[in-house]
Structure 1
Amino acid sequence: MRSHPDPSRGTQRLLLRLALVLALAAGWASAHAYAGPGALRAKYDELRDELRHNAFRRALHVDSSERGDTLKGDVYAVLDHPFSKVSGALAQPDDWCDVLLLPFNTKYCRAAERNNGAAMLQVRIGRKYDQPVQDAYRLDFALQPVAARPDYFESRLAAATGPVGTRDYRITVSAVPIDGQRTFMHFSYSYAYGIAGKLAMQGYLATAGADKVGFSVVGRDGAGQPIHIGGVRGAIERTAMRYYLAIDAHLAALGAPPGQQVDKRIETWFRETERYPRQLREMDRDTYVTMKRSEYERQQHAAGS
């Protein structure tokens, strides 16, 4: 008698892949056109009051949007770092790997070059806990420096394909100086999905992701407490926030001695995510720190081989 595959196992695999999709690091096509400093300064003026008074306990604004088959998450933030430090800290591929490896589900990142000499990042995204690199999903991000001016910085990452039929991953960071010690930054992450990805999202949000929320407030409950956005927009807001915090942790660690910067990044990222436990808590500190130290060591050994 011919055996039939267990449909539940296929569903479990699909849900696992979706977890990767929702945690991957990547706008609408028009949103990725070169904007320049004027548009970003106008956004800073628009958000100025909200950046001073909000529930984040820092100068921060998080938003998301869904259009057709594309999801996009945005973080606007005032960084307590000079503009020259911010632009210099995100200029090289290795800097980006230091940032991208901080979120819990990034297992590996290695800077490389394409045949035409353009920079790229080989990134492995896997499950929440420790996982062999070869078992994690590979994404190849092309790194595109867009602008490095005294008054404006922009850098982009793009990956053509992802798991479960997802595609067009985009990560964009742009920044302008506010004054001598502060910088206004926009972090944008987006991707597009097909039918398989949509079905997987629906399954995930009905099970493991059912109680998870994002940061945008969509209303108030009977007690006057904020109701945060859920669903796929909540998921992409969580991912965008994790990567914004990774950039901030990377910047904070640059002031430490070189031999202490990895631990400084790891400890800072975990501490800052714990400020938003409802959205970002996934594991305890010891588990995260041990796992990330191992992954950074693995990455350094691979780079030196």
Structure 2
Amino acid sequence: MKICALSYRRRLRAAWIRVQLVAAVVLCAGAVLGHAGDATANSESLRAKHAELRIPLGNSPFGKPLVLDSSESADGVTGDIHALVEHPFAAAAAALNRPGDWCEILILHVNVKYCRASAAGEGSVLDVRIGRKYDQPLDRAYRVDFAYRVAAHASNYLQVRLDADQGPLGTRDYRIVLEAAPVDGGRTFIRLSYAYAFGTAGRLAMQAYLGTIGKNKVGFSVVGTQADGRPQHIGGMRGVVERNTMRYFLAIESFLGALSAPPQARLEKRLRDWFAAIERYPRQLHEMEQREYLDMKRKEYLRQQGALPR
């Protein structure tokens, strides 16, 4: 009887273990399906936005299917770009979901002096240095640590997030969010959001900038007409965030465009394509001549790869 009772308890324990395993599998499958469902819902939402913006995209003043918006609150600013890129979703998503590749993108920006990706727990951190529009030692640039995360990656949707608690000039809560989904014609529809917040010190610093060297700089949104009939573009904090949102989008576009080149030629193509892209909007984005930009960025890229002193 004892043997039978022992055998029964063993069978009962084994059955209970099987139940737990089945439950775990079901829960895991449910989690995967939940993420897939979220990705599908987000993809459908992004494609619905594409349908909503079809006419503005077709009539875009930017010379490409792109719509730019911005907003300002009491303690922050946000810039949003919705655009079509001439790359299949699978290729674009594969190229935009690796942290090291985001450093290749960010370094194109004239004020980004360095970027290095490293592992941090289950995610990655991008050590980014922000500086002036000239060759600058890294110890004189401002360090911003972006937490990098692929929030979603499915066959029909990609979302990548870069978040930083602190930034230069008293700014904080930096957020760069990229969303992408496939649309008709083998193209990819992208939403890029760039935002940051500021306190009193940050606002005062930005006002000082806008009252001096940034006084004549403008964004892209048209808010009126000047006396001579020319469009009046947005200035102030919204102008700042619009310029940088456009710079980062053009960096993404240049990065994707260079993938067709041989690996050894991609850096030069990215640099030249990005500079050519910003020069299409000189009123907002012209900062320096091409030779000056190329010389500076070639040095910064070598430093980023560890080939030059920091």
TM-score (ref. length: structure 1): 0.85
- Alignment pair present for 1:137 and 2:179: no
Q: Which residue does the alignment assign to 1:269?
A: 274
Report the Cα distance in structure 1 between the residues aligned to 2:122 and 2:48, rounded to whole angstroms. Answer: 36
Matched AA of 1:256: A
**Equivalent residue letter for 1:285:** Q
Report how far residue 180 of structure 1 moved. 4.6
Q: Is the 8 A contact 2:254 2:270 kept in 1?
A: yes
- Trace 1:90-101 onto structure 2 (pairs within 5 A): 90-101=96-107
Shift of the alpha carbon at 1:205?
1.0
Task: Please give the secondary structure, in 1, of the residue aligned with 2:48.
Answer: helix
Report the Cα distance in structure 2 between the residues aligned to 1:184 and 1:57, rounded to whole angstroms. Answer: 16
Distance in 2 (CA, whole Å) between partners of 1:225 and 1:86 is: 38
Which residue, out of 103, 109, 114, partners 2:115?
109
1:36 to partner: Cα distance: 1.0
- Alignment counterpart, residue 178 of structure 1, candidates 183, 187, 191: 183
Pairs within 5 Å for 1:158-169:
158-169=163-174
Letter in 2 for 1:247: I
- Contact kept, 8 Å, 2:148 with 2:160, in 1: the verdict is yes
Partners of 2:167 and 2:214 in 1: CA distance: 20
Q: Deviation at 1:220? A: 2.2
For each residue in 1:60-113, what CA deviation from the matched residue of structure 2 results, as whole angstroms up to 9, or x when unmatched?
Answer: 111100122011011111101111111111111111000000011100000101
> Radius of gyration: which is bigger?
2
Shift, 1:179, TM fit: 2.2
Which residue does the alignment assign to 1:68? 74
| Higher RCO (C-alpha under 8 Å, 6+ residues apart) | 1
**Aligned pairs for 1:34-45 within 5 A:** 36-45=42-51
Is the Cα contact below 8 Å between 2:170 and 2:205 reproduced in 1? Answer: no
State the superposition RMSD in angstroms.
Answer: 1.8
The CA deviation string for residues 247-268 of structure 1, in whole angstroms up to 9 with x for no partner, is 0000011110010110010000
Structure with a larger share of its residues in helix: 2
The 3-state SS of whatever aligns with 2:184 is coil
SS in 2 for 1:301: coil
* 8 Å contact from structure 2 (residues 127, 146) kept in 1: yes
What CA distance in whole angstroms lies between the structure 2 residues aligned with 1:133 and 1:52?
42
Is the contact between residue 83 and residue 181 of structure 1 (CA under 8 Å) also seen in structure 2?
yes
Structure-2 separation of matches of 1:216 and 1:173:
21
Q: Distance in 1 between matches of 2:42 and 2:228?
A: 43
Give aligned pairs, total.
271
Alignment match of 1:240 (pick from 227, 242, 245):
245
Task: Indicate yes or no: 2:237 matched with 1:227.
Answer: no
How far apart are residue 138 of structure 1 and its match?
0.4
TM-superposed deviation, 1:181: 2.2
CA distance in structure 2 between the partners assigned to 1:210 and 1:301 by the alignment: 37
Q: Is contact 1:83–1:180 with CA below 8 Å preserved after alignment?
A: no
1:223 offset after TM fit, Å? 4.3
Aligned partner of 1:48 among 44, 51, 54: 54
Q: What is the one-letter code of the residue matched to 2:182?
A: P
Query: What do residues 235-279 of structure 1 show as CA deviations (whole Å, max 9, x unaligned)?
Result: 100000000000000001111001011001000000010000000
Q: 2:128 aligns with which of 114, 123, 126?
A: 123
1:207-258 per-residue CA deviation (whole Å, 9 max, x = no partner) reads: 1111111011112234443211111101100000000000000001111001
Distance 1:123 1:75 in 2: 22
Provide the rounded CA distance (Å) in 2 between the counterparts of 1:36 and 1:71.
24
Q: Deviations over 1:9-47 (max 9, x none)?
A: xxxxxxxxxxxxxxxxxxxxxxxx987113212221221
The 1-side partners of 2:170 and 2:235 are apart by 23
Listed one character per residue, the Cα deviations across residues 112-151 of structure 1 (whole Å, up to 9, x for unaligned) are 012x242110000111111011211101101110111111
Q: Out of 143, 152, 174, which is 1:147 matched to?
A: 152
Runs of 4+ with deviation above 4 angstroms: none
Which amino acid is 1:194 matched to?
G
CA distance in 2, matches of 1:297, 1:97: 13
Pick aligned residue for 1:216 from 221, 227, 240: 221
Q: Check whether the contact 1:170–1:189 (CA below 8 A) recurs between aligned residues.
A: yes
CA distance in 2, matches of 1:180, 1:43: 17
Give the letter aligned to residue 150 of structure 1: S
Structure 2 gap segments, 5+ residues each: 1-37
Question: 1:302: how far off?
Answer: 6.1
Q: Is the CA contact (8 Å cut-off) linking 1:141 and 1:158 kept in structure 2?
A: yes
Q: Which amino acid aligns with 1:59?
A: P
* TM-score normalised per structure 2: 0.84
